[in-house]
Amino acid sequence: MNRAPAERWTLRVAVAMLLSLAVCVALLALDARALDNGDPVWLKPIRFSLAFAVHLLTMVWLARLGRGVGEPLHRAFAAGLWLQITAAVVEWMCIAVQAARGVHSHFNYASFFDHAVFTVMGWGTAVLLAGMVACAWGVARSHAHPLLKRLLLGAQALAVLGALTGVLMVMPTAEQRVLLDQGQRLAWIGGTTVGVLSGHSLPFFHWDLGAGDWRAVHFVGLHALQALPLLGWLTQRAGYNGPAVRFVRVGAWSYALFFVAVIIWTVLGNSIVALVTPEWWWFAAPGVLFALSALCMAAIAAQRGQRHVA
Q: Which of 157, 7, 10 is nearest to 67 (CA)?
A: 7
* pLDDT for res 243: 79
Which residues make beta-bridge pairs with 188?
108
Q: Which of 269, 190, 257 is nearest to 220 (CA)?
A: 257
* pLDDT for res 224: 95
Q: Which of 14, 21, 94, 9 is nearest to 54 (CA)?
A: 14
* pLDDT for res 31: 94
Q: What is the average pLDDT value for the chain, to the nearest integer?
A: 89
Give the integer Cα–Cα distance in Å for 198 and 135.
39
- Going by the DSSP 8-state scheme, the letter that residue 37 receives in this structure is T
> Is 60 exceeded by the pLDDT of residue 30?
yes
What is the pLDDT confidence band of residue 103, given thresholds at 50, 70 and 90?
A: very high
Domain assignments of the chain as residue spans, ordered by start? 1-144, 186-310
For residues 57 and 85, is the Cβ–Cβ distance under 8 A?
no
Q: Which of 163, 5, 156, 191 is nearest to 88 (CA)?
A: 163
Indicate the pTM of the whole model.
Answer: 0.91
- Sort residue 120 into left (φ over 0), alpha (ψ -120 to 50) or beta: alpha
Q: What is the pLDDT of residues 270-306, one digit of tens each?
A: 888 776 566 666 677 787 788 888 787 777 767 765 5
Give the integer Cα–Cα distance in Å for 96 and 19.
14
Please tell me the total number of residues recorded for the chain in this structure: 310
